[in-house]
């Protein structure tokens, strides 16, 4: 089950996107007020989605994004030594 903070962050990230859709649907996106409102709503949405992303990362749900190379020492392969001239 998802923790409550994650659910709240996702919901609070979706609500500003609905506001942007409403601004586009009413046609006020072409005014200065509509542009600034959409920028503010995008910022709010981005902050809450970033919080949700960090929460998922802390819980290990985004482990597939980390492409770590296995260490050569762990595999038993010795690194090549450089020859001195």
The pLDDT tens digits for 68-79 are 655 555 555 555
Number of domain units in the chain: 1
Q: Determine, yes or no, domain membership for 78.
A: no
Domain of 22, in residue numbers: 4-72
Q: Determine, yes or no, domain membership for 49.
A: yes
Q: Determine, yes or no, domain membership for 77.
A: no
How far is residue 2's CA from residue 50's CA, in Å, rounded to a whole number?
A: 16
- The more confident residue out of 69 and 12 is 12
Among 42, 68, 40, 57, smallest CA distance to 6 is for: 57
Q: Determine, yes or no, domain membership for 80.
A: no
Q: Determine, yes or no, domain membership for 68.
A: yes
pLDDT in tens, 24-58: 999 999 999 999 999 999 999 999 999 999 888 88
Quick check: helix, strand or coil at residue 22?
helix
Q: Determine, yes or no, domain membership for 81.
A: no
pLDDT at 74: 55
pLDDT at position 85 over 70: no
Q: What is the pTM of this model?
A: 0.68
Q: Determine, yes or no, domain membership for 83.
A: no
């Amino acid at each position: 089950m998802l923790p409550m903070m994650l659910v709240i962050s996702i919901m609070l990230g979706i609500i500003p996107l609905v506001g942007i859709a409403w601004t586009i649907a009413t046609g006020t996106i072409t005014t200065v007020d509509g542009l600034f409102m959409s920028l503010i709503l995008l910022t709010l949405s981005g902050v809450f989605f970033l919080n949700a992303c960090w929460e998922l990362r802390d819980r290990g749900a985004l482990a597939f994004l980390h492409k770590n190379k296995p260490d050569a020492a762990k595999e038993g392969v010795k690194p090549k030594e450089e020859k001195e001239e």
